[in-house]
Structure 1
Amino acid sequence: MAEGRSRLLHMPAALPVLKSAAAVTLGSAIAGIGYASIIERNAFVMREVTMPVLSPGSTPLRVLHISDLHMRPNQRHKQAWIRELASWEPDLVVNSGDNLSHPKAVPAVVQALGDLLSVPGVFVFGSNDYFGPRMKNPANYLIKPEARIHGEPLPWQDLRAAFTERGWLDMTHTRREFEVGGLTIAAAGVDDPHIDRDRYDTIAGPASPAANLRLGLTHSPEPRVLDRFAADGYQLVMAGHTHGGQLCVPFYGALVTNCGLDRSRVKGPSRWGADMGLYVSAGIGTSPFAPMRFCCRPEATLLTLVAAPIGGPDAGDRRRSHSSPTAAVR
């Protein structure tokens, strides 16, 4: 009994320690949320990547990849950063979708892209070009990744008209050949597989072997679509959608990809099969209902595509990061 009373008498002394630990944990959580939602979400970065995917003998091609703007009219800081991307002087712009997050965001997207719309460009749309975001349980990304909740319809037709009027090519279920920088590009794209709008059979068939670059576009990098592009001889597929995982764990990476792609390919360059390169953008924006990024900065990418060595492409893609001087917190 004496020993029992001694333990009971000493228990209250531990309460301040427990309260202090709880306060530290709560403070750390609040600080982490603040960092993810205010600082990193606005810490835009330009990535530079070199990928050896062009046909042998081709001269280099500079491709600016933008994706997942998720634009709202009042996002002035993001719009200003996007306007500066034209200073990188790409030969070609690839937009892999999810430009909108608001029914009145089309003018903001067009004004932000600015001079980039005078550069040759190709695009496909994502689900958030067609439907606005809605509040959803974030746990569904882990336990119900197949769940789909559509918001209000968005004016994607107006966005398409604005892009095509400036000369960008809509690659949705379309195959096209065009020249950029003296190179022939054979491109094809599908509508967003994330909401089952892809109809690959409309573009099926071997890509032109005479092209310097055989380029595939899709918003969501679903394996079933990547397999079809690879089988048809495309050298590079570009996609977005994953946000790079958006909330990542240090030394582990993304928890989810929000599609059938494995976590090792959630962002950046990789290979799909023996002969096809894949680039997945971590994207520029976020949903207004999940306005946070952690260990996954918002990005655009300048890819320098060079000729693949004879005997097959080099798996040793090189990657560098450059922060914009305008990436300060809004």
Structure 2
Amino acid sequence: MSWWWTAVIICGAVLLTAFLVYIYRFEPFNFGLTDIRINIGTGQAGEKGQKLLTILHLSDFHLRKTSKGKRLFDFIQTLKSQRYDLILITGDMVENINNVDYLVEMLSPLRARYGKFAVLGVHDHYNKALYEFARNMFKRKKSYGAANDAEELSRKLKTIGIDVLNNEGRILKMPGGDIGNIEIIGLDEPVIEKLDLDKAFSVVDPLKDGEIVDGSNYREISSELFDMGGACIHRLNRKGYLRLALLHTPDSHVLATLHKKDVDIVFAGHTHGGQVRLPFIGAIISGCRIKTRFASGLFYLKKMVLYISRGLGEGKYSQFRCYCPPEASIIT
């Protein structure tokens, strides 16, 4: 072998090693705080939009007692110095129920003026085995072998003031201002058929016939739903009311139902932003029934705002990120 080919092989090996170190040991630990502004207005011409409440959105911890888990724990502690109006957590907090106490310890210092709310993701319900994870890459499953005690998770989070909404709604009375009531609807995981929209809206706004969108043709639904007008301002669907929805997996047909139900803002997770993104292209997968273009970020739809977080963790069998750093988000 000539010296030239030897040099090429050595350089290639060095670059590959550096790349693997970056995606496994640097970027997953590179936590960031993303500032998001959602403009709320009355829809009048030329209006700039009012400032929303201060909301901390967290998602997809996949918390484990590892070096990554310790760094994540420390990062969350840096967020406790600020007082938020709401804290919203959109699922996949743990993978193993044995880590719930660690999760409670991590989240307990966080404070919110009007409340802390969470929904569950697939991993909160099930601790996937490796073969289940591999099979799940090609086909969705409705259940997995090792079930977590989701009720225990919800109970323990309740002890630190986090209200886990399992297909439930809450109405918060606000002390004056332009928003009199905040309605929060928390949806359980659609992927494993835990979603119950009738139950979720029963307190806030009971469903009527024809309001649930069928997910059999999600591509057509997605094209219609994400036909955005381009205006970066959202007019409240009902004056004086702000309706929020939390869910883990942002499947298009679920979002379309929320759109029909006059939800103003949807907060979601699950996608990890695609976890692997390419420059000028973006996410190569979304991990759910939504186009890759919408794998993370803020989107103004026709009469609804959607925010999908890149999340803070990764699954135990896919502990890497590329061009897609983990994030917590402050929404104002």
Task: Work out whether the TM-score is over 0.5.
Answer: yes
Which of residues 158, 169, 184 in structure 2 aligns to 1:164? 158
Aligned ranges 1:177-188 → 2 under 5 Å: 177-179=171-173, 182=176, 183=179, 184-188=181-185
- Matching residue of 1:91: 85
TM-aligned CA distance change 1:152 to 1:243, over 3 Å = same
Give the secondary structure class of the aligned counterpart of 1:194. coil
Does residue 299 in structure 1 map to residue 299 in structure 2?
no
Q: Where in structure 2 are there 5+ consecutive unaligned residues?
A: 44-48, 209-235
Work out the CA distance in 2 between the residues paired with 1:227 and 1:218: 13
- Matching residue of 1:308: none
- Matching residue of 1:63: 55
TM-aligned CA distance change 1:198 to 1:289, over 3 Å = same
- Matching residue of 1:313: none
Which of residues 194, 197, 205 in structure 2 aligns to 1:197? 194
Aligned ranges 1:30-49 → 2 under 5 Å: 30-49=17-36
How far off is 1:199 after superposition?
1.9
Work out the CA distance in 1 between the residues paired with 2:279 and 2:38: 26
RMSD value, Cα? 2.6
TM-aligned CA distance change 1:118 to 1:271, over 3 Å = closer
TM-aligned CA distance change 1:30 to 1:59, over 3 Å = closer
TM-aligned CA distance change 1:16 to 1:134, over 3 Å = farther
How far off is 1:245 after superposition?
0.7
Work out the CA distance in 1 between the residues paired with 2:4 and 2:276: 31
How far off is 1:169 after superposition?
2.6
Work out the CA distance in 2 between the residues paired with 1:180 and 1:121: 15
TM-aligned CA distance change 1:287 to 1:164, over 3 Å = same
- Matching residue of 2:108: 114
Give 2:252's aligned amino acid.
Answer: P
Q: Quick one: percent identity of the two aligned structures?
A: 25
Which has more radius of gyration?
1
Does residue 224 in structure 1 map to residue 277 in structure 2?
no
- Give CA-to-partner distance per residue, 1:126-184, whole Å, 9 cap, x none: 00101113325988677x25367735222322221122233333322112211356542
Work out the CA distance in 2 between the residues paired with 1:283 and 1:151: 25
Is 1:141–1:258's contact at 8 Å kept on the other side of the alignment?
Answer: no
- Matching residue of 1:307: none
Work out the CA distance in 1 between the residues paired with 2:144 and 2:52: 41
Aligned ranges 1:100-179 → 2 under 5 Å: 100-116=94-110, 119=113, 120-136=115-131, 144-146=138-140, 150=144, 152-179=146-173
- Matching residue of 1:6: none
- Give CA-to-partner distance per residue, 1:191-229, whole Å, 9 cap, x none: 111222212233253899354311011100000110000
Range 170-179 or range 121-130, more displaced? 170-179
Work out the CA distance in 1 between the residues paired with 2:82 and 2:112: 13
Aligned residues: 289
Aligned ranges 1:214-293 → 2 under 5 Å: 214-272=243-301, 274-293=302-321
TM-aligned CA distance change 1:153 to 1:147, over 3 Å = closer
TM-aligned CA distance change 1:54 to 1:86, over 3 Å = farther
TM-aligned CA distance change 1:117 to 1:249, over 3 Å = same
Aligned ranges 1:9-28 → 2 under 5 Å: 15-28=2-15
- TM-score (normalised: structure 2): 0.79
- Give CA-to-partner distance per residue, 1:32-70, whole Å, 9 cap, x none: 111111111101000000012466897630010000000
Work out the CA distance in 2 between the residues paired with 1:130 and 1:281: 20
Is 1:145–1:259's contact at 8 Å kept on the other side of the alignment?
Answer: no
Q: Where in structure 1 are there 5+ consecutive unaligned residues?
A: 1-11, 305-330
Give 2:278's aligned amino acid.
Answer: V
Work out the CA distance in 1 between the residues paired with 2:134 and 2:16: 18
Is 2:108–2:160's contact at 8 Å kept on the other side of the alignment?
Answer: no
Work out the CA distance in 2 between the residues paired with 1:54 and 1:66: 25
Work out the CA distance in 1 between the residues paired with 2:317 and 2:79: 26
Range 58-67 or range 31-40, more displaced? 58-67
Work out the CA distance in 2 between the residues paired with 1:55 and 1:171: 30
Range 216-225 or range 175-184, more displaced? 175-184
Is 2:62–2:92's contact at 8 Å kept on the other side of the alignment?
Answer: yes
How far off is 1:27 after superposition?
2.5
